[in-house]
């Protein structure tokens, strides 16, 4: 069988290296997928930079995968050859722990994560558990859909946890926020976008998508918020968001990693404000979002990179040089 190419992390804190290796055969219950696009998520950056400990090494990052079924393992049903599918962060769960039995598979005690504990999509091919892959149909461009598989899915979970209020703040206007802003505005909510101080390009971008207001994360919005979602991995934004939400409001931390949250006065949390985090996603989250995104007309602003430029894409994300999302196209 011919070889595949993959960008491999050998040690956190070092650049990815291009490797050639035999294309794997899918085991029982698995799909072999020829990758056509893979989004570059901030979680990938946390894996590469060593913020997330204990990855499987060496590891191929990438968990916003769009591709075509290239081989089907034994006991797999519901997929056909060359079908377009998506592979998300949640790669598998145990199915037997108390969380799985309680329909909270995102909190599974023995999970598998794509691009972290099993090889992901910074490659020409990948293997995935068929139970955690999703048919994507044929509408839309592969690269533009790729960010849906994490920025969209985990963003959607954060969005639902934020509740049904009319005013929503989004801190860190990157891949997830620009997707969720479109859904919220489609649903008739007022969106307030918070960016790094002086990032007028991101603020203009938010307003172009229909945000009612865009400004610095240090600013208070023109009206109190029903809820806020923090996508930027900056713990200092938690007190700022609590200050911005009204009594009974919610602040949702939507990332897998965040810098330390500074001490803040209890008065910011009082009056029944809620502070919560989001962990991973469930397959039900995926089914819900993949149904609603086309109805909402979600369009991703993307920058495409060839596979061998994965380190450049990660650097651009790290330094805040991107508008929207980065996507690798093998």
CA dihedral 100, 148, 41, 77 (to 10 degrees): 50
CATH numbers and ranges of domains, the chain: 3-149+300-329 (3.90.180.10), 153-277 (3.40.50.720)
**Does residue 37 contact residue 147 with C-beta atoms inside 8 Å?**
no
Instruction: pLDDT tens for the chain, 330 residues: list them.
Output: 589 999 999 999 999 999 999 999 999 999 999 999 999 999 999 999 999 999 999 999 999 999 999 999 999 999 999 999 999 999 999 999 999 999 999 999 999 999 999 999 999 999 999 999 999 999 999 999 999 999 999 999 999 999 999 999 999 999 999 999 999 999 999 999 999 999 999 999 999 999 999 999 999 999 999 999 999 999 999 999 999 999 999 999 999 999 999 999 999 999 999 999 999 999 999 999 999 999 999 999 999 999 999 999 999 999 989 999 999 999
Residues 6+ apart with CB under 8 A from 248: 271, 272, 273, 274
In this prediction, residue 309 carries a pLDDT of 98
Cα gap 92→56, rounded to integer Å: 15
**Does residue 291 contact residue 135 with C-beta atoms inside 8 Å?**
no
DSSP H/E element including 247:
strand 245-253
Taken in order 144, 136, 7, 306, the sign of the CA dihedral is negative
Q: What pTM value is reported for the model?
A: 0.94
* Residue 147, φ and ψ in degrees, nearest 5: -65, -15
DSSP single-letter state for residue 241: H
Residue reference for tokens 């200050």: 243
Cα gap 236→223, rounded to integer Å: 21
Cα gap 129→122, rounded to integer Å: 17
Backbone torsion region of residue 138, taken as left when φ is above 0, otherwise alpha when ψ lies between -120 and 50, otherwise beta: alpha
In this prediction, residue 17 carries a pLDDT of 98
In this prediction, residue 14 carries a pLDDT of 97
In this prediction, residue 2 carries a pLDDT of 85
Cα gap 67→32, rounded to integer Å: 10
Q: Among 35, 69, 51, 317, which residue's Cα sits nearest to residue 149?
A: 35
Taken in order 173, 174, 180, 181, the sign of the CA dihedral is positive
Task: List, in sequence order, the alpha helices (H) in 187-309.
Answer: 200-208, 237-244, 283-296
DSSP H/E element including 101:
helix 98-101
In this prediction, residue 87 carries a pLDDT of 98
Residues 6+ apart with CB under 8 A from 221: 167, 169, 192, 213, 215, 244
Cα gap 252→163, rounded to integer Å: 10
Cα gap 207→211, rounded to integer Å: 5
**Cis bond before residue 58 (omega within 30° of 0):** yes
Q: Among 227, 210, 71, 85, which residue's Cα sits nearest to residue 146?
A: 85
SS3 content of the chain, % helix, strand, coil (to 5): 30, 30, 40
Residue reference for tokens 């949640």: 90
* Strand partners of residue 136: none
SS3 assignment, position 72: strand
Cα gap 109→93, rounded to integer Å: 8
Cα gap 68→218, rounded to integer Å: 44
SS3 assignment, position 67: strand
């Amino acid at each position: 069988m011919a070889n595949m190419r993959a960008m491999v992390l050998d040690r956190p804190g070092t650049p990815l290296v291009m490797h050639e290796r035999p294309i794997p055969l899918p085991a029982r219950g698995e799909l072999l997928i020829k990758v056509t696009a893979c989004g570059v998520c901030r979680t990938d950056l946390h894996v590469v930079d060593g913020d997330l400990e204990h990855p499987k090494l060496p590891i191929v990052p990438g968990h916003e995968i769009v591709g075509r079924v290239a081989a089907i393992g034994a006991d797999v049903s519901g997929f056909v050859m060359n079908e377009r599918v998506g592979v998300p962060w949640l790669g598998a769960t145990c199915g037997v722990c108390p969380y799985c039995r309680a329909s909270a598979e995102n909190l599974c005690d023995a999970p598998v994560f794509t691009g972290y504990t099993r090889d992901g999509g910074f490659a020409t091919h990948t293997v995935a558990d068929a139970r955690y892959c999703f048919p994507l149909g044929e509408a839309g461009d592969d690269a533009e859909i790729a960010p849906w598989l994490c920025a969209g899915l985990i963003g959607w979970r954060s969005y639902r946890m934020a509740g049904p209020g009319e005013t929503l703040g989004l801190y860190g206007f990157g891949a997830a926020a620009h997707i969720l802003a479109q859904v919220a505005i489609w649903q008739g909510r007022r969106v307030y976008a918070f960016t790094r101080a002086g990032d007028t390009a991101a603020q203009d971008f938010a307003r172009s998508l229909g945000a009612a207001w865009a400004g610095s994360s240090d600013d208070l919005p023109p009206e109190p918020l029903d809820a806020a979602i923090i996508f930027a991995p900056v713990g200092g934004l938690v007190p700022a968001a609590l200050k911005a939400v009204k009594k009974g409001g919610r602040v949702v931390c939507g990332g897998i990693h965040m810098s330390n949250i500074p001490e803040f006065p209890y008065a910011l949390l009082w009056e029944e404000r809620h502070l919560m985090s989001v962990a991973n996603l469930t397959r039900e989250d995926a089914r819900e979002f993949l149904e609603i995104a086309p109805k909402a007309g979600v369009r991703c602003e993307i920058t495409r990179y060839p596979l061998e430029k994965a380190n450049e894409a990660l650097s651009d994300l790290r330094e805040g040089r991107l508008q929207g999302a980065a996507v690798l196209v093998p």
